[in-house]
Structure formats: C-alpha cells, structure tokens
Structure 1
Amino acid sequence: VFPRRFVKSFPAVSGGFEIETEMSVHASQLKLPVSEMALDYGRRPEGSSSKLSTFRDGARILWMFAMLVKETQPLRFFGTFALFFLAASIGLMIPVLVEFAETGLVPRMPTWVLSIGMLLLAMLSMMTGFILDSVSRGRAEQKRIFYLSISSGRAERQAAGQALPKSEPGKAPRAA
C-alpha cells in the first residue's frame, strides 16, 4: 500500500520489473519506512508457460540498478571507474619508470603515454564523481522537500468527517 505522497512524488521512468528497483530507491532517498508482505505463490497451471525471461529480465534490473546508483551515488559509481583507471595506470607506469631509473631512457613511449592518459581518466572520473555527488545531494534534498509539501490527504479526510485509518503499533498508518 503506497501513501498518497509517495504516489504523487514518484517519477516512474521505467516499466516491468525495473520499476520495483526504482520504487525501492525512491523510498530509500525519501527515508520512508518500508515493510514486506509475505505472499503465497501458487503453482503454475499445467500447460501454461511463463512470460518471464530470467537472464533478460535480470539484465534489465541490473542495468536499472547501475543507472540508479549513477544517479543517487555518483561518487561511488565514478570512484569505481577512477580506481580501475588508477590501478591500470600504475600497473603500466611502474615498469616504464623502473626502466627509466636504470637507463635514463624511455624506450616504451606508447606505454608511458597510455599510462598518463589512464591517470588523467582516473582524475577526470573522480572529479566527475565529486561534482555529480554535490548535484545529487541537492536533488535529494529537493525531492524530500517536494515530498513533504504534498498533502497526505489526512486533513481533507478529517474535514470531510471521514474516520482516519488506525495504525497498528510499530507500523505506519495506511493511506487511503
């Protein structure tokens, strides 16, 4: 059951199985309480076939998850690429530097240029992560403020004289 505020503030971008991932991230960003409900799954009737494709649907969910990580945690996302480029750069750079220290020559110039290029990519990825992290924090704050500005519908129901739903201890009240 989704509260009115959640529904009004949720920018559904995807469809299919990816939407569950998107809803989970949205609820997490808004710091909303989430609970799971146990459901009984019955066996599929004989002769029927599933429309699900394990690998295709799984790949779509993973892709959506990666894009949501990029949107919500860009420093972690781009920092991972920065670490990869930095490790590759150092791995290529050390043998060239050792050879330069021994002979005073750089006979493997293409390797040196590649290692410097990868070092620059690492720095660029890290700076991109820092900048987008600041932007992402601002967007999350705006999203939270927008969420809180949406009426929960509680005041309207009280004004109309309807009974408000009772909540159980430890659970959030349900929205109509």
Structure 2
Amino acid sequence: MHPALIAIAVIAIIVFVIVRRFRGEPVDAKDLAVPPLILLAISIKDLWGFDHWTAANIIFLAVSVAVGIGFGMLRGASTVLFEKDGTLHQRYTVRTLIVWALSLAASACLHFGAQAIGAEEAVRPVTLSIGLSLLGEAMTCGWRGLQSGVPFSVRDTDTTAAPLRRP
C-alpha cells in the first residue's frame, strides 16, 4: 500500500478515536486490549523475517518501543475515568490532545532520526508505533480502571440472548 494512503488512513482513525473519546465512552476491556494486540501482531509478522539487525536498527527499535509505550501511558494518565450507569467510562481532556500532538511530533522526529542514523524502513512499521502507543494507553487506563473499583463495560454483541434475571 502506498505510504500516503497509510498516512491518510492512520490520521482518519486517530481523528475518529479522538472525537469519540472526547464525547466520552464506556471502558471495555476487550476494546482496550484487542486493537494494540492486533497491531503488534501485524508488526511482529512484518519484522519476523527481517535479518539485517544492525546497531542502528536495534537502537531505533528500542527507542521506538520506549517512546510509543511512554506516550501511550501519558495519554492514558491524562484521560478522565468516571462512573456512568454503573460502569466505567473515559473521556479525553485537553491534556490528552496535547499528549497526542506531542506523540505525533515525537513520531516525526523518530522518523527523521531513523533516517539520520541509517535505520532501515523495515524496522519502522507504522503499525508498531500505533500498537505500542495504544498498548501504553490501555495499560494505564486499565490499571486505573481496576484501581477505581468501578466495573468495566461489557458490550453485548449477542442481541438474541435472553437478559439475565435475578432470583
């Protein structure tokens, strides 16, 4: 896929997530865990056959992991968690938007830094940086949510099932 199309798709997804979370949404454990795990699995698949591990490639990958998870954790820490209808909800704040902007700037710096040190394109998958960032956010929001004692939301996808009745 052309890099410009990937960039447009990534920007569209980020804008969609930001708008949805600014409005506030339930915190669902599956929604926290599945997207980063899928993106990281794709990244690992992409990196699996790579066999040209130079110092520049290793350094870039290590820095990318730290930066991605770090900014994700900052974003997760800036998110407001609250109870609504008996379940945990989240809402982005202005601080969260600032962290998003800083993380995008850091990603751009990493991209140019990778070129400057000679890190190869193969160790710079976009899915890796987004997956790591979402993982950091999920870890922080998940931990904070568990500490709150408020139950996570459970999105029921089976609408044919009978509702549970209490005795």
| TM-score above 0.5, yes or no | no
Higher strand share: 2
The answer to which structure, 1 or 2, has the higher relative contact order (CA under 8 A, 6+ apart) is 2
The two structures have a TM-score, normalised by structure 2, of: 0.29
Higher helix share: 2
